[in-house]
Structure 1
Amino acid sequence: MTTVTTAWDASQYLDGPEMIAAYVDAAFEEGDPAVMASALGNIARARGMSDVAAAAGLGRASLYKSLSEHSHPEFATILKVIKALGLRLTVAA
């Protein structure tokens, strides 16, 4: 008997501000830039990539590329996406 599986898509479960905040907080806590970019990409897909790209002043294809798992986006791009998503980056001691 064959087991059929499908890829897990985090964007399907990011349905509220609290869930999004917890998800991005956990991703940033990892300290891996690729995980951070991927998490922002998942949130952008949950919110609508075209809408997020427009709000960030970026092209949709460029945003997909910047937030893919193996990308190395510039910090300025990350800040634009965070702002477009309605999030705020904070630092705590």
Structure 2
Amino acid sequence: MSAYWICVYKAVHDPDKVAAYAELAGPAIRAGGGRFLVRGTPARTYEHGEDTRTVVIEFPSVEAAEATHDSEAYQAALAALDGGADRDLRIAPGAE
């Protein structure tokens, strides 16, 4: 069953660090089987929604998503982010 990374950027403090993270994170995520579905700010928000950058990435399974997050390559990307943004990242299983 597919799984999804859902990441919301609550605040960006250093765009250069976010860019450095993205340069490393993209290849690490793709190497783990991830496929970017959503990247950007909302076209519209409802029900107390926030106009914050949102990223949704599909993985083949929860295990693949977790392994990608814990991989050496993705951890290097997080190290490059180094406080450059406040984010909420969660892994959710897909619906059957």
Q: TM-score range by the shorter chain?
A: under 0.3
Structure (1/2) with the larger helix percentage: 1
Q: Under a length normalisation based on structure 1, what TM-score does the superposition of the two structures give?
A: 0.27
TM normalised by structure 2 equals 0.27
Structure with bigger RCO (C-alpha 8 Å, 6+ apart): 2
Looking at secondary structure, tell me which structure has more strand per residue. Answer: 2
